[in-house]
Amino acid sequence: MNRKYFLELADYNTWTNNIVIEWLDQITDEQWEENIISSFSSIKRTVTHIVSAEKIWIDYWENVPDPVFLSAGFKGTKNDLIKIWKESSACLKDLIERYPEEKYQQQVTFKWPGGREGRMEFWQTFSHFINHSTFHRGQLVTMLRQAGFTKLTSTDLATYYRVIS
């Protein structure tokens, strides 16, 4: 676990988010809002959850006072959400470039959904961040297919390594 590895994962996360954003730019408002059975009830709600989680983890790592989980009250448009997602992706790489490696094993304090306080080492929260986004982007692939969107491409980590080399 070192900065180079974390930067690679941050780059992978941004690369994959950008692919998903390209897909979202191609779907209709009806597909965006369609009720689909999954962890969340629509593509919109799933994307809102991903963006909310990515943003709040960055806020926790940056020690932002009283960070707010975006999905708790987000009322913006798809384009508003995509803009926040792009900004969060850029912030992630910037944060990793600045985050001291000696702090990778230090505790990060955060709030679980529901308000209970939690603590994990930075490297654990970063691993969770990447895994969480990957999990829900996988759900988006299935949801997009169910909504009739089939112009999908691989967002696998192995595909990323092949594409960038």
The tokens of 105 are what?
Answer: 């094993």
Instruction: Indicate the domain borders of the chain.
Output: 3-164
Identify the pLDDT of residue 73: 87
Identify the pLDDT of residue 112: 87
Q: How far apart are CA 8 and CA 1, in angstroms?
A: 11
pLDDT tens track, the chain, 165 positions:
799 999 999 999 999 999 999 999 999 999 999 999 999 999 999 999 999 999 999 999 999 998 988 988 899 999 999 999 999 999 999 999 999 999 999 999 999 888 899 999 999 999 999 999 999 999 999 999 999 999 999 999 999 999 998
Residue 132, annotated ligand binder? yes
What's the chain's length in residues?
Answer: 165
In the chain, beta strands by DSSP E: 107-111, 117-121
Identify the pLDDT of residue 114: 81
Q: How far apart are CA 149 and CA 79, in angstroms?
A: 18
Residue 136, annotated ligand binder? yes
* Rounded (5°) CA angle 11-90-131: 50
Q: In the CATH scheme, what architecture does the domain 3-164 have?
A: Up-down Bundle (1.20)
Residue 49, annotated ligand binder? yes
Sign of the C-alpha dihedral computed for residues 112, 65, 11 and 14 taken in this order: positive
* Rounded (5°) CA angle 129-24-57: 20
Whole-number Cα distances in Å, 139 to 91, 92, 122: 24, 22, 26
